[in-house]
Structure 1
């Protein structure tokens, strides 16, 4: 073989080897990335041409795929878009959020549990279909949560979570402002991008599910955790005397903290029940200072702080109780200020644990996963995360919270002929913005069916009228009634 032919042969061999290496790289190394790349139109066409499974609340499909008259064959439709968008999320040509994302394998029909279904479809030459996801949501409770947020004055921002205390089932989860996921499901991809750009640029953050994605100071609702830590120490019960008075001087500081109304909570020494009824800052500042950071942090973590647990919705933002707080910060943490932050879900978990004799149940929103023929592939079983407090402590706290609804700051949550346990909270922010209003509750107190947390982050309410009871109490009441009366 002469030299020119040899050179050409070697060159062709190198090109052939390069082609093999590139093909191997694309098929085995980059395959996942390429299949998920939003610019891969083959994947887009295949995905939109498959009948995606439904997301169900009761018997109603709040998200489903219907035949379309374009090349993509199916159109994703959300029947009650704004009310359920924080839960369902959206299904789009460039990604998914919410349940559409966390349960994508099932809904798209790619889950290994649907192998037999896919095989049957292939052998029968039928079109592949996705599985269905049944949610735990109570439609009446969700309606009450959504309507409550919608009725807040002005362009409000807030969130609501309702849990079934004994199981951890999410009965309601609402957030405002919200968005229309139908706009993301459009087959006009330019329009989808414009929608995404507009909503992501909105400083109200409508794409965030505030129920699990927003952490803010929980204010006086955190006094439940402080009271729990005090009773668990063995030195206190509902009738124990605690400091009252007008002011508390922070340790290692000249700063004095007053009560929210400037009063003395009824005296220099009051019962813990009275301290809860009037939401006495001095009492809970004193208790947190006495208990110390370690005991307070241990109790907070027992309720779920510093961790995440809502696995079937991708996890919630961590509610934080830092373990490195100094004495002044620890005292302030006793009233839900300082560096303490919580999601509405976390505060609902605190209320639910008290209602459930101290057991913290893992929250979940996916009840069942079903095949296209509606056969059940999997069912979520309730799971206890921790024993946050003893049954006796839970009983003492319940007595205090019932009194707070009967004669204290939480009276807006009263339900005729039903014993309700509840607590208000008003958390200070910065001098430039109004406080955050919180409300937590559960009912019936003697046989709890529902625990609720309400956060009103902002609304067109004058600063001196912002209070957890006034803004959040009626919303919590409506949700509790919806569950109890179903």
Structure 2
């Protein structure tokens, strides 16, 4: 009788071991495959069964969550969606996440282990950790001033705090409402198709993902290179620059938009944006030193994240002398994002120091406890403090005496540089209007804001496309908004 009991007992034990082995196989070794299987909706259901954490500008929540009562319960909402879209991106139940919604997704979705001191206990008890919040560095007044200034035209604005690298404004227009992509209804698919098919590309973040020829705003880099290299020692000495200037090794004549550029000193040439003077200066500085200065400012340097990726700005280093002349006035293959040009202006404002820009001030739990802060940002000296001081003089002269008068802010010291960027086949396209600047309030000990503005579809009247007529007033509005706010 014992034998008849023992045999079934052994068989049951073997079956139990087999079940345990199979459970380990399924839950440990095959779990990833089951989780990633498109037919498995458990992860999607779990992801949306709790409200998502919010993105904040100051104390203002610019995102939220709406209870739909559906299987995918909580849907993302946005406050003033088009205004903040270049920063937030979208969080969609169908199309995933972009920009800050993507970069901070583990924290916002509540899966970041930093949100709970006992992650293993939460795993065992299946307790849902509320999503955390992301507090940005943005200045709401500056963001609104930039958005209003562009008024729906194609273009972008980037503004940073020169002394810290904090991004104060990041605007791209035309924009879109990310709430249109939040859900999973048929309307979401139609919105996705419409936005992707729009020739104006409203989902393109022009401030960080689009590069443009920077035109004459790049003369800030060329002037800094010439001063640091000792090619220019006296801002008021004649430069022996002919008009027109024949590009080296060619018969192509480079001219200027205005008069008075022949042999013009660097100060006057910068004020009135003389192409001939700065093209010649770039050739005299040479490819190696021009490339080194451009790289110090951030050109040709990939990997910049704020925390989402920024497109690489470029300065071609494999150029002949004629191409170098054009590159030195922001043409040929020279290309920059608006954020990159704001960084150029910021380095001038901060005694030649360039600080890496950042967008997240801190991250918190849902009840406000700090999870993380960005900490000290790296900085590098891109030009000598003496060169930076003379560059500030040149940029101030542009606003007080030259082409940038529309950027003047009463009671503040403002430096700027206008730019016109040719593009298209044979430069047939309507030029882009650029303006880069910085501003220091009358009670400030140092500049508080650096701005870059680019407008793609500026007025076809040539005098209005120099940047002074179209882009400078937008920069002024942004600078005024920052200077009016209490210093943080």
Is contact 2:231–2:284 with CA below 8 Å preserved after alignment? no
Given candidates 176, 184, 188, the residue that maps to 1:179 is 176
Tell me by how many angstroms 1:124 deviates.
Answer: 8.3
Residue 423 of structure 2 corresponds to which residue in structure 1? 429
Q: Is the 8 A contact 2:458 2:470 kept in 1?
A: no
Alignment check: 8 A CA contact 2:431 2:458 kept: no
Pairwise mapping of residues 143-292 of structure 1 onto structure 2 (< 5 A)?
143-150=144-151, 156-188=153-185, 190-237=186-233, 238-261=235-258, 263-265=259-261, 268-292=262-286
1:72/1:21 CA distance change after superposition, 3 Å:
closer
Distance 1:121 1:345, change over 3 A: same
Alpha carbons of structure 1 residues 408 and 165: separation in structure 2 relative to 1, 3 Å = same
Determine the structure 2 residue equivalent to 1:46: 46
CA deviation after TM superposition for structure 1 residue 309, in Å? 5.4
Deviation at 1:406, TM superposition (A): 0.1
**Partner of residue 9, structure 2:** none
Cα displacement (A) at 1:179: 0.8
Contact 2:432 2:458 in 1 (8 A): no
Decide whether the 8 Å contact of 1:220 with 1:427 is kept in 2: yes
Match of residue 16 from structure 2 = none
TM-score by length of 1: 0.89
Q: Deviations over 1:107-163 (max 9, x none)?
A: 01111212327567678886431110000000111111111111xxxx621000000
Q: Deviations over 1:184-214 (max 9, x none)?
A: 11241x3222211221111211111100000
| Alignment match, 1:88 | 88
How far apart, CA to CA, are the structure 1 residues paired with 2:473 and 2:192?
Answer: 34
Moved more, 243-252 or 366-375: 243-252
Change (3 A) 1:25 1:480: same
Q: Say if 1:29 and 1:126 are closer, same or farther in 2 by CA, change over 3 A.
A: closer
User: 8 Å contact 2:221–2:294 — kept in the other structure?
Assistant: yes
The one-character-per-residue Cα deviations of 1:255-304 (angstroms, maximum 9, x if unpaired) are: 0010123x232xx3222111100101111000001111111110000000
CA deviation profile, 1:218-259 (whole Å, cap 9, x unmatched)? 000000000000000023243343234421110110000101
CA RMSD in angstroms, aligned pairs only: 2.4
Of stretches 174-183 and 463-472 in structure 1, the one that deviates more from structure 2 is 463-472
How far did 1:21 drift? 12
After TM superposition, the structure 1 stretch with the greater mean CA deviation from structure 2, 239-248 or 425-434, is: 239-248
Match of 1:64 in 2: 64
The residue matched to 1:211 in structure 2 has which SS? coil
Q: What are the equivalent positions in structure 2 for 1:64-463 lying under 5 Å apart? A: 64-93=64-93, 94-116=95-117, 127-150=128-151, 156-188=153-185, 190-237=186-233, 238-261=235-258, 263-265=259-261, 268-308=262-302, 310-430=304-424, 431-444=427-440, 447-459=446-458, 461-463=460-462
Structure 2: distance between partners of 1:309 and 1:473: 30
Unaligned ranges ≥5, structure 2: 1-18
Summarize the Cα distance change of 1:53–1:310 in structure 2 as closer, same or farther, 3 Å threshold: farther
- Cα pair 2:417 2:436 within 8 Å, conserved: yes
Q: TM-score, normalised by structure 2?
A: 0.88
SS in 1 for 2:62: strand
Equivalents in 1 of 2:311, 2:333: separation in Å? 15
Of 127-136 and 115-124, the range deviating more from structure 2: 115-124
In the TM superposition, residue 392 of structure 1 has moved relative to its aligned partner by 0.6
Query: 3-state SS of the aligned residue for 1:469?
Result: coil
Task: Work out the CA distance in 1 between the residues paired with 2:391 and 2:70.
Answer: 60
How many aligned residue pairs are there?
A: 458
Distance 1:79 1:121, change over 3 A: farther
SS at match of 1:146: helix
Kindly indicate whether the alpha-carbon contact (under 8 Å) linking 1:244 and 1:280 is maintained by their aligned counterparts in 2: no
Query: CA 1:384–1:143 in structure 2 vs 1: closer, same or farther (change >3 Å)?
Result: same
